Structure 1
Amino acid sequence: MVTTRTRTYAWAVISTLTGLTLVVAAIVVPAAADIDVHVGISGYDPFPPLHANWVPEFGPRGILPIVVAVGVLVLWGRIDRLGWRAFVATTWVATWLWTFTLAYVDGPDGLSEQWMRRGEYVYDARRVTSVSEALSGFIDRIPIDAPDHWFIHVAGHPPGALLAFVGLDRVGITDEFWIGMTVMTIGTTAVVAALVAVRALGREPLARRAAPWLVLAPMAVWMGVSGDTLFVAVAAWGLALLAIASTRSRRAVPTYGVVAGVLLGYSTYLSYGLVLLCPLAIAVLVVAGTARALPWALAGALAVAAAFTLAGFAWWDAYPVLHERYYDGVASRRQYGYWVWANIAAWTFTAGLATWAAIPAGLRRVRERNPVAVLGCTALLCVLIATLSGMSKAEVERIWMPFTLWALMLPALLPVRWRTPLLAGQAATGLLVQILLLTRW
C-alpha cells in the first residue's frame, strides 16, 4: 500500500528531476547544436540560460554569505519562537544580510558597478532636467533611431522606473554604491510584505514556515544588484495591502484598498510585464473570500493611470513602440523555440530546486485555498504566460522576480523534516551562482 508520505516524496522527486533536466538541457543544447543564444558579455565563456558568464572566483569575502547561511540554519528554531513583530524584523534583517553578503563577494563594486553603465536607469535619470518634459516626450524617445533616445533599460520600461531613480537623484543619493544599497534595502522589504500577506489571509503559522525559504532564496543573487528589485517590493506591498484590505474591518477597506491599488497600478508603470500581477491580485481576493476591496483598489490603480496619461504618457501607445524596439534589438536573435522553455530553466536558478520539489504539494493544496499554495501556483501561472508570450527571452532571472517571490514560499508545504537539507540546497545554489558566474546584473 502506497502511503501519503511515499506519494509526497515520489512527486517531489519527479518534479525536482523535471526542473533539473530543464537546467541541464538549457546548458547543453546551445553548445551541442552550436546555437548562439545571445547571453552574457563578450570576452568570457557564456553560461546559458542565464545572462551570465563562467568566471569562477572565490576570495575571502566569499566566507561572509556562508556564515550568514549557516547562522540562519542553526538559529532558525530560536528565531521562530520570537513574537510576530520581532520575528518579521529578524527575518528581514537575515534576508538583507544574505542579499548584501552575496553582492559583497565582489566587494563594493558588487553593489555599485552595474549602476555605472549607460544602459542602466541611473544614466538616463541624470539626464532628466524636467520630469514633465520627460513624460510628455517619453514615447518619442523609445525607438533606437530616435534623436536622444533612451538607453536600454529606460526604453524597455514605462517611465515609473525612470521616475524612481530621478527621485533618488533629487534627494541626493547619487553615489553608485549608495544607490545600490538603497535599492537593495527597499527591495528586501518584499519579504516582509509576503509574510504580512500570508498572515493577513489567516495563516500566521504558515507565514512562519514560509519565512526561511524567503530568507535564503537563490533569488538574492539578483535582488542585490538589479533595478527590478524595486519592482518586487512595490508589487509585493501592493498585494499585501490588498490582503489586509480584504480581511480587516470594513472601515479599513477604503484606505488599504486605495493604497493597494496605487501600488499595483504603479507597478504596471514600472514594468509592462507586471500587468501579470492581475492573476495574483485575483488570487488574494479568492483566498480572502471577498471582493469588497476590489472597487477601492481599482480606483487607486485608475488614479495612477490617469495621472500618467494626463502627464503625457499613454501606456497603451507606448507598448507597441517598445515591441518594435525589442525586436529591432537582441530579441530578434534569441530563438523563441529555445527560450520558451529555457526561460523556465533560467528561472530555476532563482527559485531553486526546492521550489520545484514543492510544486506538486502546492497544486494539491490549491483547492483548500491555502494562501501559500494559491499565491505560489498563481505565480507559476504568471511565469508560464510570460514565457509563452515571447516578450520574455532570457534575463528572466531578474525580470520574473516579482512572481518568483511568491513561488519561493511553496516549500513551506513540504514536510518539516525536509527543511534543513532543502534550505541548505537553496543557499548553496545562490552561493555557487555568485562564486562561479559573472552575472550581468
Structure 2
Amino acid sequence: MASPVEQSRRTGPAADGGDRPRSRPRWIGGGVAVFAAVLLVAGCAVWGGWLDARGHHLHLGNAWPLSGHWEPRITRWAVAPVLVAAVWIAWGPRVAARAPWRRLTALVYLVAVAWPVALASWDGPGALTAPLTTPYEYLHDVPRVTDLSTFLATYNDHVMDPPRWTTHVSGHPPGMLGLLTVLDRIGLGGPEWAAAMCIGAGAFAAPAVLSTVRVLSGEETARRAAPFLPAAPAALWIATSADAFFAGVAAAGVCALAHAAARTGARGDAWAVAGGLLLGGCLFLSYGLTLIGVLAVAVVVAQRRFRPLVVGGAVVVVLLLAAALAGFDWFTGLDLATQRVRAGRGWIERPEWYFWFANIAALAVAVGPATVAGLAWLRRDRFAVLPGAVAVILAVALASGLSVGETERIYLPFAVWLLPLAGLIPVRAARFGLAAQAVTAIAVTGFLVLWW
C-alpha cells in the first residue's frame, strides 16, 4: 500500500511538477497572473497620485496602494535581510525536501521570526518597537485600565463617547488591550515585550498554515510550500503590528479545527475545543476576524466532517456568553465600532471605489509574485478550499466597505492562507520564486517607509 507521501505525489497539487510539455500553458498562465498583478499595483499607484493631486484624501501617504511614503535609503542594517534571504534561498528548498517533519516545522518558525525582524531592522533595532509606540496604538491606553472587571463592563462606553479610547483600541474588542494590560501587571509591560509577543505569534502562522496544508493535501504539497510560508513580503507587517498577533492566533485556531476533522473520538474533540478557544479568542481581538470563520468551516467541511464545527462552535458561544456576563456585549461593541468607522474621516473622505482595486493590489504586494504565479497551478482538490475561502472573505470585506485602506495589514490574517499557492510552482523554479519574494520585500523596505 502506498504511503501518504507517495499518494500525495500522485494525486495532490504537486503531481504536476511542471516538467511535462503539457505544463507549458501553466507557465504562461503564471506569467500572465504576475503581469496582471504588476499592472494592478502600478495602475493603483498612478491612480492614487492622480486622485491625491485633485484633492481626494486617501490617507495612505504617497506610497499608493500601500500605507507609507517614498524614502529610498540604504543603512548599515540593510545587510541583515539580504543575508537571511540568501541563506534561505540557497538552503530552504533542500531542507524542506529532506528534513524530518518536526525539524522542518521548527525551522519554518525560526525563519518566520528572523525574516520580519531582519526586514524591520533596516532602519535599526528601534524600528521593531516604533510602530507600537504611537498615540494611536494599544500601549497608549494601558495606563487607563485600572481594574479588568470594570474595564470589560465599561469598555463599550468609551468607543464613541469621551473619554474615548485611542484609535486602534476603539475600533477593536477589548482583547488586545486587556492582554497587554495583564502583561504590564506581571512585569512584562512596554513596547519590547509587546513587539516580542506580536512577532512571536505572527511567525507562528507559518507552521500553523504548513500543518493545515499537510492535513488537507499531504506532506509532499506541504513540503513544497514550506520554503515560501515564512519568506513572503507579508513579513513586512509582522514586525511589528497587532495584526500579526491576530494572524497567528487565527491560524492556530483554523489549524486546530483541521486536525480535529482528521481525527475521531476524544482526540478529535480535544482539537475542536482548542480550535474553538482560539477562534473564539479572535472575536475579542478584532471584529474583522469574524470572517476567519469561513476558513474554519472550509477546512472541516473539505474533510467531510461536521462534529468539530459543533464542538468548536459551542466553545465560541460559551466565550461570548461569559463575556456578556462579565459586562461586555460583543454585538453592541461591533455596532459601535462600525458606527465609529463610518463617522471617521477615512470613511467619509476616501473614495471607496478606488479601494475596490487598491485593496487587492496591496494584498498582491503582501503575498508576493510567487504566490500570484501559483494560481496557474491550482487544481480542484481539497487544497483549493484555502484560496477559495480567502476569496469569499475578501469579497465580503470589500462589499462591506469597512476595509478601505491599510489592507496589507488588516488582511494579514487572511493573506497567510494564500502563501501556500507559491508551493505549487514547479520544483525547478522554487529558488527563483523565493528570490522574487525576497526582492519584492527588500525593495519595499528600501524604497518606502511603511506606517505599520
TM-score (norm 2): 0.91
Letter paired with 1:241? A
Does residue 1:405 correspond to 2:416, yes or no?
A: yes
The aligned residue for residue 23 of structure 2 is 5
Percent of residue pairs bearing the same amino acid type: 34
Paired residues of 1:38 and 1:334 also in contact (CA < 8 A): yes
Q: Give the structure 1 partner of residue 388 of structure 2.
A: 377
2:297–2:309 contact (8 Å) kept in structure 1: no
- Paired letter, 1:436: F
CA–CA separation in structure 2 for the residues paired with 1:410 and 1:166: 38
Task: Indicate the residue corresponding to 2:112 in structure 1.
Answer: 95
How much does 1:243 deviate? 0.9
State the SS of the aligned residue for 2:306: coil
- 2:448 is aligned with 1:437: yes
Measure the CA separation in 2 of the matches of 1:406 and 1:96. Answer: 17
Match of 1:348 among 355, 360, 364: 364
Alignment equivalent of 1:38, drawn from 30, 54, 58: 58
Counterpart of 1:346, as a letter, is A
Q: CA RMSD in A?
A: 1.6
- Among residues 323, 342, 345, which one is paired with 1:327 in the alignment? 342
Equivalent residue runs for 1:411-426 within 5 Å: 411-426=422-437
Name the amino acid aligned to 2:288. Answer: G
Structure 1 position 67 matched with structure 2 position 83: yes
Q: Check 1:78–1:397 CA distance in 2 against 1; reply closer, same or farther (3 A cut).
A: same
* One-letter amino acid matched to 1:85: R
Quick one: distance in 1 between partners of 2:40 and 2:120? 27
Q: How far has the Cα of 1:263 moved from its partner?
A: 0.8
Using the TM superposition, give the Cα deviation of residue 187 of structure 1 relative to its aligned residue in structure 2, in angstroms: 1.6
Matched residues in 1 for 2:431 and 2:91: separation?
11
Name segments (4+ residues, structure 1) moved above 6 Å. Answer: none
Matched AA of 1:188: A
Deviation at 1:3, TM superposition (A): 5.3
| Contact 1:353–1:426 (8 Å) recurs in 2 | yes
**Equivalent residues of 2:257, 2:308 under 8 A apart:** yes
Deviates more, 1:119-128 or 1:215-224: 119-128
2:304 pairs with one of 279, 282, 289:
289
- State the number of aligned residues: 429
- Given that 1:341 and 1:387 are in contact with CA atoms closer than 8 Å, whether structure 2 keeps it comes out as no
Separation (CA, whole Å) in 2 of partners of 1:154 and 1:191: 27
Taking the aligned partners of 1:130 and 1:189, their CA distance within structure 2 comes to 31
2 CA distance for matches of 1:186 and 1:198? 19
In the aligned structure 2, how far is the partner of 1:200 from the partner of 1:360?
A: 22
Quote the offset at 1:77 in angstroms: 4.1
Post-superposition Cα deviations, 1:332-377, rounded to whole Å, max 9, x if no partner, equal 1111111111111111121112222122332xx2x322x2x32123
Greater CA drift, 325-334 or 228-237: 325-334
Cα deviation code 1:41-97 (max 9, x no counterpart): 5xxxx2111111111121111111110001001112442211111111111111211
Change beyond 3 A, Cα 1:77–1:22: closer
- Of the three residues 134, 152, 158, the one matched with 1:135 is 152
Query: Structure 2 unaligned runs (5+)?
Result: 1-19
Structure 1: gaps spanning 5 or more residues: none
| Higher-RCO chain (CA-CA 8 Å, sequence separation at least 6) | 2
Structure 1 match to 2:242: 227
Q: Which residue of 1 aligns with 2:211?
A: 196
Q: d(CA) in 2 for partners of 1:164 and 1:132?
A: 13
Distance 1:61 1:342, change over 3 A: same
After TM superposition, list the pairs within 5 Å mapping 1:174-323 onto structure 2: 174-201=189-216, 203-323=218-338
Tell me what 1:357 maps to: 373
Work out which of the residue numbers 22, 28, 39 in structure 2 matches 1:21.
39
Q: What amino acid is the match of 1:22?
A: L
| Preserved contact between residue 262 and residue 303 of structure 1 (Cα < 8 Å) | no
Q: Deviations over 1:122-166 (max 9, x none)?
A: 1112321111111111111111xx221001001011111222222
Distance between the aligned counterparts of 1:156 and 1:229, measured in 2?
Answer: 16
Is residue 359–residue 377 contact of structure 1 (8 Å, CA) maintained in 2? no
Rounded Cα–Cα distance in structure 1 between residues aligned with 2:164 and 2:50:
38
**Residue pair 1:279, 1:382 contacting (<8 A) in 2 also:** yes
Aligned partners of 1:39 and 1:50 also within 8 Å: no
Q: Distance in 1 between matches of 2:38 and 2:391?
A: 17
Change (3 A) 1:182 1:321: closer
SS of equivalent residue, structure 1 residue 189: helix
- Separation in 1, partners of 2:119, 2:239: 8
Name the structure 1 match of 2:381: 368
- Asked if the contact 2:356/2:398 (under 8 Å) is kept, the reply is yes
Using the alignment, how far apart are the partners of 1:92 and 1:4 within structure 2? 36
CA distance in 2, matches of 1:202, 1:10: 25
Distance in structure 1 (CA, Å) of the matches to 2:331 and 2:193: 34
* Match for residue 134 of structure 2 among 114, 117, 125: 117
2:428 aligned partner, one-letter code? R
2:180–2:189 CA contact under 8 A, matched in 1: no
C-alpha distance in 1 between matches for 2:122 and 2:196? 14
| SS in structure 2 at match of 1:438 | strand
Q: Could you tell me which amino acid in structure 2 is paired with residue 121 of structure 1?
A: Y
Q: What secondary structure does 1:345 align onto?
A: helix
Instruction: Give the Å deviation of 1:191.
Output: 0.9
Residue 39 of structure 1: CA displacement?
A: 2.7
State the shift of 1:254 in Å: 1.8
Distance 1:416 1:203 in 2: 16
